[in-house]
Amino acid sequence: MNTFRKDRTANWNVALGRNFRVAGERSLDVRGEFINFFNTPPQFDKPGVQLALATFGKITNTVNKGRQVQFTLKLNFRSALPKPGD
């Protein structure tokens, strides 16, 4: 029976994006991705369970990292958007 327990991991991941028509059939995709959006405090990994090791009962890691942000710009030469007035 495993007597060591830990709480669940709770991260909120969010992605927002928008498409803009630039000129002619060109469009620009803008996207932002946020991993661990609310920057929840570190959630600790389970403690070491092997009795023979020096790490027994010690928590040596976290299961989540701090907030990570990624932005993307993509220029499309053939727009998938409908033309105005269509």
Question: Given a cut of 70, is residue 73 above it in pLDDT?
Answer: yes
Q: What is the pTM of this model?
A: 0.61
Other Cβ atoms less than 10 A from the Cβ of 82: the count is: 8
Q: How many CA atoms lie within 13 A of 54 on its CB side?
A: 0
pLDDT of residue 63: 76
- Mean of the pLDDT values across residues 31-45? 85
More confident residue, 43 or 71: 71
Question: Given a cut of 80, is residue 79 above it in pLDDT?
Answer: no
Give me the residue spans of the domains in the chain.
14-76
